[in-house]
Amino acid sequence: MSIHTGLSAEAAVMELLDDWAAAVRAKDIAAITAHYAPEIVAFDAIAQLQFKGLEAYRQHWAACLAQCPGPMTFELHEEVIYAEEQVAFFHALVRCGGSAEDAGWLRMSGGLRRIEGHWKLVHEHHSAPFDPQNGRALFDLAP
């Protein structure tokens, strides 16, 4: 990752998010995790309540990507970024799935810090709305 000079903080964070999403589509674990701080705390939509630390989240990403043997759909939509000199947060809608036909929608938010000149994700949260009557996630909702 390069140090972002000449870009606004929001543009630098958007560049990071675009690069991160491309790494997810490529199923490149090393490139995905390069965007996280070692102390990342993630609340993912599946598997467990939280993931603490880069290694725990790397293992989770590997398990998630293994569930999608073919091409990966992973698109950020409606991104909103608030960034200052050292800290930023964002929210977006994410279209995610093993293929365009089975992709569903998630909500995502995250926090970043500029560490030694590089933006790093220190918190990430993915969620899906659910039906309280039956407890099922509502992945078929669309913006």
| CA atoms of 83 and 96, how far apart (whole Å) | 25
| CA atoms of 113 and 40, how far apart (whole Å) | 11
- In this prediction, residues 124-130 reach a mean pLDDT of 91
Give me the half-sphere count of Cα atoms (radius 13 Å) on the Cβ side of residue 36.
Answer: 24
| CA atoms of 46 and 120, how far apart (whole Å) | 22
Residue-wise pLDDT tens digits, 79-121: 999 999 999 999 999 998 877 677 889 999 999 999 999 999 9
Residue-wise pLDDT tens digits, 1-49: 445 555 799 999 999 999 999 999 999 999 999 999 999 999 987 878 8
Alpha helices, H only, the chain: 9-25, 29-33, 54-66
Q: Which domains does the chain have, with CATH numbers?
A: 9-127 (3.10.450.50)
What is the phi/psi pair of residue 76, to 5°?
-90, 135
